[in-house]
Amino acid sequence: MRRLIISLGVILIMMMPRCDKDILSPKSITLATLKGNVIESVNQTPLSGVTVSVSNYTESVQTDSLGQYTLQVELETSTSSEQVTLITRKLGYVSSQINDLTIKANKISLVPTISMDCNSYIARILGSMVDKNANPLEGAQITISNHVETGFTDNSGSFSFPVEISRSTENVTLTAQKVGYGSSQVSNLTLKANETVTVPTISLIPEVFTTTIQGQVIDSLENNPLEGALISVSGHYETGITDANGNYNFSLELSSSTENVAVSVRKPFYTYADPGVASGGGVQVTLKHGQTTTVSTFVLKKCVAKIEGVVINTSGVPIQDVLISVSNHAPTSLTDAAGKFSFSVGISSTVENVTVTATKPFYQEAQYSVTLEYDQTTVVPTFVLKLLP
């Protein structure tokens, strides 16, 4: 009987959810970094506002005032390297790309300087959109075949935006769409360089079932709203992203007037604070046509590392109330009467190099560089503070 109990205990421990094994595990995240700069081909001057992206990945950045960029790509696998195509785009310039560029996991790849040629082939598209009752439609999206430029209707249902074309005249297909409505197309639309084409008024027919979903995501460690968390709904392609207040609000189409779904959240280096939510695939809710569903607050915990140590003076006596801080991290700690400190720090990866600083009035500041590891305790070498001269 005793062996049976021990075996059951081992099985239960193996089945316990671990931060490094569920969907939000930091161990599943592999980043590759690309750095480079873009210049204008004629004057050889830095080109700002250039959109830089990588084939087969959604991440993109824009060059700064010096034409420089740093792009981080979250690799889908843990392979050591991958061949990709780097693409640069800017309105008024010919798009450029570098093929067979090697990116490496957890490495910085330096990209050769990219030179972009000016393109004078710019056309403008103008039009408006209404519903079946001829009421203006706000927030409808307009896309052009084989082009990245996108337009949106304003509160009067109007839209106007420039499109970079490859030659002086180009025939395209315009597609208009809005959540809750069927899409509509205008084929064989002729765009001409330096001219504005006015599209006939587009009418969208509403679909039957739409709903809105909203909620908030917070951090359990510091109890702060979490920005940039991805919200998804089972069986639906629509997603939401939390804002600076941790809030999200987005619309989606339903297959019927009432639909039961699971709402889940994902953010690199975070996991659900409640293991039950993770095992259930998220929070189960019922969505209803024409109504807004508020999902219970998601609480995520950051994978953390613990740090501890002691501070003494040159005579070996513990020093109390020494402020201990960690570079690029908010949590701090004060030493106790025994000169000891111990606190947790959220880390951005499974291993992170930081600088730990000890400060106290009338004493010289002291620092140590240490490595923090996920779910481990790092003991900092003893700080010995000297009195200021």
What pLDDT, in 10s, does the model give residues 318-364?
A: 999 999 999 988 789 999 999 999 998 877 666 889 999 999 999 99
Is pLDDT of 272 > 90?
A: no
3-state SS, residue 274: coil
Q: Copy the structure tokens of residue 170.
A: 């180009």
Give the Cα separation of 299 and 224 in Å (integer).
10
Nearest 5°: the CA angle 244, 246, 247 is 105
Mean pLDDT of 256-266: 91
Is pLDDT of 18 > 70?
A: no
Name the pLDDT band for 120 (thresholds 50, 70, 90): low
Q: What is the pLDDT of residue 193?
A: 86
Q: What is the pLDDT of residue 23?
A: 43
- CA dihedral defined by 176, 177, 181, 187, rounded to 10 degrees? 30
Per-residue H/E/C for 72-118: EEEECCCCCEEEEEEEEECCCECCEEEEEEEEECCCEEECCCEEECE
Is pLDDT of 249 > 60?
A: yes
Is pLDDT of 263 > 80?
A: yes
- Name the fold adopted by 122-203: Immunoglobulin-like (2.60.40)
- Which residues are CB-neighbours of 247 under 8 A, at least 6 positions away? 214, 215, 216, 225
Which stretch, 101-105, 235-239, 276-280, has highest mean pLDDT?
A: 235-239
**Chain centroid offset of residue 281 CA:** 21
**Residue 299 · residue 220 · CB < 8 Å:** yes
Is pLDDT of 78 > 70?
A: no
Give the Cα separation of 311 and 380 in Å (integer).
10
The answer as to CATH 3.10.20.30 being correct for domain 304-385 is no
**Residue 273 · residue 299 · CB < 8 Å:** yes
Q: Copy the structure tokens of residue 55.
A: 């084939």
Q: What is the pLDDT of residue 28?
A: 58
Q: Which CATH number fits domain 210-302: 2.60.40.1120, 2.60.120.260, 3.40.50.1370, 3.30.465.10?
A: 2.60.40.1120
- Which residues are CB-neighbours of 8 under 8 A, at least 6 positions away? none
Q: Copy the structure tokens of residue 178.
A: 């809005």
**Domain residue ranges in the chain:** 26-116, 122-203, 210-302, 304-385
Q: What is the pLDDT of residue 20?
A: 45
Fold matches, 122-203 and 210-302:
yes
Tell which wins on pLDDT, 112 or 281: 112
Q: What is the pLDDT of residue 112?
A: 92
Q: What is the pLDDT of residue 24?
A: 46
Alpha helices, DSSP H, located in the chain: 2-15, 275-279
Is pLDDT of 192 > 80?
A: yes
Name the pLDDT band for 210 (thresholds 50, 70, 90): confident
Top-tier CATH class for 26-116: mainly beta
Is pLDDT of 7 > 70?
A: no
Q: What is the pLDDT of residue 349?
A: 66
Mean pLDDT of 201-230: 89
Is pLDDT of 92 > 50?
A: yes
Quote the mean pLDDT of the chain: 87
Name the pLDDT band for 42 (thresholds 50, 70, 90): confident
Nearest to residue 88, comparing CAs of 57, 63, 124? 63
Name the pLDDT band for 10 (thresholds 50, 70, 90): very low
Q: What is the pLDDT of residue 80?
A: 73
Is pLDDT of 214 > 60?
A: yes
Percent of the chain beyond pLDDT 70? 89
Q: What pairing do the DSSP bridges indicate for beta strands 292-294 and 81-89? A: unpaired
Give the Cα separation of 323 and 366 in Å (integer).
11
Mean pLDDT of 231-242: 94
Q: What is the pLDDT of residue 77?
A: 65
- Which residues are CB-neighbours of 69 under 8 A, at least 6 positions away? 34, 35, 36, 37, 38, 50, 52, 61, 62, 63
Residue 40 burial (10 A CB sphere; 0-12, 13-18, 19+): middle
Is pLDDT of 12 > 80?
A: no
Q: What pairing do the DSSP bridges indicate for beta strands 158-164 and 122-130? A: antiparallel
- Within 10 angstroms of residue 297's Cβ, the number of other Cβ atoms is 12
pTM of the predicted structure, to 2 decimals: 0.34
**Residue 203 · residue 162 · CB < 8 Å:** no
